[in-house]
Amino acid sequence: MERKFICIRCPQGCEIITTLDGHGVITELTGNSCKLGPEYVKQEISDPRRTLTTTVMVEGGTHPLCPVWSEKPVPKDRVMELAAALRGIKLNAPVEINQIVLANALGTGINVIASRSIHGGI
Amino acid sequence: MNKTYDVIIIGAGPAGLAAAIEAKKTGAKDVLIIERNDEPGGILLQCIHNGFGSVLFKKDLPGPAYAYNFITEAKQLGIEMLFDTMVLDITASRKIYATNSHEGFLEFDAKAIVLAMGCRERTRGQIRIPGTRPAGVFTAGMVQRLVNIEGLMPGKNFVILGSGDIGMIMARRLTIEGAKVIKVVELMPYLTGLRRNYVQCLQDFNIQLSLSTTIKRIIGKNRVEAVETVKVDDCLNPVAGTEEMIDCDSILLSIGLIPENELSKKSGVQLDPLTGGPIVDENMATNVAGIFSAGNVVTIYDLVDYVSKAGFIAGKNAAMYAAGQTAVKKYVEVKAGDGIRTVIPQKISVERGLVPLSNEVLFEMRVTKEYPSKISVDLMDGVNVIASHKEKYARPAEMITMKVDWNDLTTKLSKDTAGLVVKIS
Ligand SMILES: Cc1cc2nc3c(=O)[nH]c(=O)nc-3n(C[C@H](O)[C@H](O)[C@H](O)COP(=O)(O)OP(=O)(O)OC[C@H]3O[C@@H](n4cnc5c(N)ncnc54)[C@H](O)[C@@H]3O)c2cc1C
Ligand code: SF4
């Protein structure tokens, strides 16, 4: 079976064409420009993951929201669940960049961290 | 008395921050950035998604985290920054007039200037969508700001016009925040943004994309109530009978960015009608002596990494100009040939006193149409191929960067060349 992928590991977005045998094992792979391509495809077949970026509320800061991201990609089918969990979180200013906002998110072992600092308001 | 700065940079986005950092490192003593926002970072502050830094840092960072590296370095280097301040006018003799609410009218002198004002979004008026003028029609960048910075959700059911990156990224963002994105419609027969964004922003969330489709009419009295879409043919003319009504309360326009050059024009900087930005050489110098330019104000980039690189070059050369190093003596023009829509730089110095940042000349180009298989981008001097660059395919949505060594280029260049041309073969 032939399956096409667009690698999302970098902005180049290589189109990768793979041939899979009956057990989902890759027998042929073309189109990648670097070694991350095959790695992406393998991951995408066995356990697709995505980085979640969103915002959480901040109390007493110069801005009402702080942008956050999952330090590593989380299972794709849990992205919306994680976004919902983060909607319930409220931070207190000041927030430091890389500060852990939610540790071991949904038990995945992955932390959600702040992608900027928010100073305390006046 | 006005304070004279070695280098003044307009705009504290990634281009301006990089320029300031490199100007300071090159030896400029007084470096000032003037920024109309209340903090540095530019558009990156609202681009909370990851996808930044793959070239410079080999990392996949969110926009604010990418900016943070540069903001921190600029602060450590003691670069002065003036916020909440709008530059109103620049003259060819490098006077800058600005205003802010706490000091009023301000005047500065600069030995060199770097223009780094970024871009603005195309709006409904520029593409003339017929219909009523209800509330609920937004540009994608504006909604990005509302949702990601202000924490406001401006609608419930969205239709997005344009498959550019901002549109697709906002389709995902709105979905994550609980709004419904019904469809993305794109006039062209191809995706105008990056394919990785199609995968992770539309496909992942089952958002439908209709190519060769546009909005025929907006319906609604006070607020948008529906849109009528229509298919277009190869010549982009509407095809009768293909109309479709979609109920929605909001329309997001992601229909392109335009370099922000009102100020550039006032100072006598010449613009390229194809890019919409200043005509620059490989040092990011404009036609006005001492005025340099970098980032989205020059041409719309896909990747911030190359914006920062251009900023470094502009900052370095601005500092050297301020220190009195001699300028370029002779140029050859660079023109877009077959298959190339835009190219920067539009001219290359062939005799120069300025020592560039490195001998690396970066040509940034966009093609006119889709090339599905292997192409070669050739830099020709009329007779010979000076440099060649291979791509597996090319799409108008993806900028092509070609690196050429300046020494190599000038050595190979025929003495009586009428100019350089980049073309696809
Ligand atoms: C939605 C979106 C998604 C993107 N996604 C990616 C991505 O995934 N990966 C990637 O690498 N790149 C991405 N980019 C591209 C990247 O963000 C831009 O190329 C880059 O930010 C441009 O930087 P700049 O410094 O030229 O402009 P800007 O960041 O726009 O900065 C210009 C600054 O100048 C200031 N200014 C303008 N006029 C004046 C004036 N008259 N007086 C004072 N100040 C002024 C503005 O306030 C602003 O702060 C994306 C861009 C957008 C819009
Ligand atoms: S294969 Fe490599 S170059 Fe191609 S998109 Fe993936 S990471 Fe980028």
- What SS3 string covers chain B? CCCEEEEEEECCCHHHHHHHHHHHHHCCCCEEEECCCCCCCHHHHCCCCEEECCCCCCCCEEHHHHHHHHHHHHHHCCCEEECCCEEEEECCCCEEEEEECCCEEEEEEEEEEEECCCEEECCHHHHCCCECCCECEEEHHHHHHHHHHHCCCCCCEEEEECCCHHHHHHHHHHHHCCCEEEEEECCCCCCCCCHHHHHHHHHHHCCEEECCEEEEEEECCCECCEEEEEEECCCCCECCCCCEEEECCEEEECCCEEECCHHHHHCCCCECCCCCCECCCCCCECCCCCEEECHHHCCCCCCHHHHHHHHHHHHHHHHHHHCCCCCEEEEEEEEECCCEEEEECCEEEEEECCCCCCCEEEEEEEECCCECCCEEEEEECCCCEEEEEEECCECCCCCEEEEEEHHHHHHHCCCCCCCEEEEEC
- Burial call B286-313: b when 16+ CB within 10 Å, e when fewer: bbbebbbbbbbbbbbbbbbbbbbbbbbb
Q: Is the pLDDT of residue A23 over 90?
A: no
**Residue B177's closest CA among B219, B199, B144?**
B144
Q: Name the CATH superfamily for B1-121+257-324.
A: FAD/NAD(P)-binding domain (3.50.50.60)
Say if residue B1's pLDDT is above 60.
no
Among A76-90, B233-247, B317-331, the minimum mean pLDDT is found in: B317-331
Q: Is the peptide bond before B259 cis (omega within 30 degrees of 0)?
A: no
CA separation, residue A87 to residues A57, A66, A112 (Å): 8, 11, 12
A105 has a pLDDT exceeding 90: yes
B246 touches chain A (CB under 8 A): no
Nearest one of A63, A14, A68 to B65, comparing CA atoms: A68
Question: A122 falls in which pLDDT band (50, 70, 90)?
Answer: low
Identify the nearest ligand to the CA of B66 by its number.
1
Residue B48: which of A14, A53, A64 has the nearest Cβ? A53
Q: Residue range B248-256: average pLDDT?
A: 94
Give the CATH number of domain A53-114: 3.10.530.10
Query: Which of A7, A70, A115 is the best residue to mutate to test the B interface, defined by the most B CB atoms within 10 Å of its own CB?
Result: A115
pLDDT of residue B128: 74
pLDDT value at residue B217: 93
Q: Where are the domains of chain A?
A: 2-46, 53-114
Segment A71-86 mean pLDDT: 96
pLDDT reported for residue B350: 87
Q: What are the extents of the domains in chain B?
A: 1-121+257-324, 123-255, 327-425
pLDDT at B397: 83
- Number of residues assigned to chain B: 425
Q: Quote the pLDDT of residue B68.
A: 97
Q: Give me the residues of B, 358-387, that contact A with CB < 8 A.
A: none
pLDDT value for B326:
65
CA of A35 to the centre of ligand 2 (A): 7
Of ligand 1's listed atoms, the one at least distance from the Cα of B169 is: 1
Mean pLDDT along residues B103-120: 96
Q: Is the CB of B35 under 6 A from ligand 1?
A: yes
Whole-structure pTM value: 0.93
Inform me whether the C-beta atom of residue A99 falls under 8 Å from chain B C-beta atoms.
no
Flag whether residue B99 sits within 8 Å of chain A, measured between CB atoms.
no
Helix (H) or strand (E) holding A26: strand A26-30
Q: What is the mean pLDDT of the segment spanning B156-165?
A: 96
Inter-chain residue contact B45 with A116, CB threshold 8 Å = yes
At residue A13, the pLDDT reads 87
Measured distance CA(B73)–CA(A76) in Å, rounded? 35
Selected residue with higher pLDDT from A36 and B172: B172
Query: How high is the pLDDT of residue B247?
Result: 97
Instruction: Write the pLDDT tens digit of every residue in B53-86.
Output: 988 998 899 999 999 999 999 999 999 999 999 9
Q: How far is B196 from chain A (nearest CA, A)?
A: 5
Establish if B89 touches chain A: CB-CB under 8 angstroms. no
What's the mean per-residue pLDDT of chain B?
A: 93
- Chains A & B: contacts with CB separation below 8 Å: 83
Q: Is residue B241 pLDDT above 60, yes or no? A: yes
Give yes or no for residue B165 having a pLDDT over 70: yes
The residues with which B316 forms a beta bridge, in sequence order, are none
Asked if pLDDT for residue A39 goes beyond 90, the answer is: yes
- Minimal-distance CA residue to ligand 1 atom 41: B87
**Is the Cβ pair A69, B200 closer than 8 Å?**
no
The CA distance from B49 to B72, in Å, is 20
pLDDT at B321 (0 to 100): 93
Which ligand has the shortest distance to the CA of B117? 1
Q: Is-contact A14 A37, C-beta < 8 A?
A: yes
Q: Which pLDDT does position B316 carry in this prediction?
A: 94
Helices (H) and strands (E) in chain A, counts: 2, 10
Q: Each residue of B323-370: pLDDT tens digit?
A: 987 667 789 999 999 999 999 999 998 887 666 567 889 999 999 998
Touching A: B residues 196-225, CB under 8 Å: 196, 198-200, 204
Mutation target to probe the A interface, by most A beta carbons within 10 A, among B39, B50, B395, B401 is B50
User: With an 8 Å Cβ cutoff, are B196 and A76 in contact?
Assistant: no
Tens of pLDDT, residue by residue over B393-420, are 898 888 999 999 999 999 999 888 889 9
Mutate to test the interface with A, among B57, B69, B196 (most CBs of A within 10 A): B196
CB contact under 8 A, A33 and B64: no
pLDDT band at B34 (very low <50, low <70, confident <90, very high): very high
Tell which residue, B90, B91, B88, has the closest CA to residue B99. B88
What gap in Å lies between CA B386 and CA B353, rounded to an integer? 23
Using an 8 Å Cβ cutoff, are B298 and B261 in contact?
A: no
Residues B62, A55: C-beta atoms closer than 8 Å: no
Predicted confidence at residue B175, as pLDDT, reads 97
Q: Is the CB of B11 under 6 A from ligand 1?
A: yes
What share of chain A in percent tops pLDDT 70? Answer: 99
pLDDT at B207 over 70: yes
Query: Can you tell me the mean pLDDT for B152-156?
Result: 96
CATH among 3.50.50.60, 3.40.50.1820, 3.40.50.1220, 3.30.230.10 for B123-255: 3.50.50.60
Give the closest-approach CA distance of A65 to chain B in angstroms: 6
Q: In CATH terms, is domain B327-425 a member of 3.40.50?
A: no
Evaluate if residue B180 carries a pLDDT over 90: yes
**Burial class of residue B422 in the structure, from the number of CB atoms within 10 Å of its CB (0-12 exposed, 13-18 middle, 19+ buried):** buried
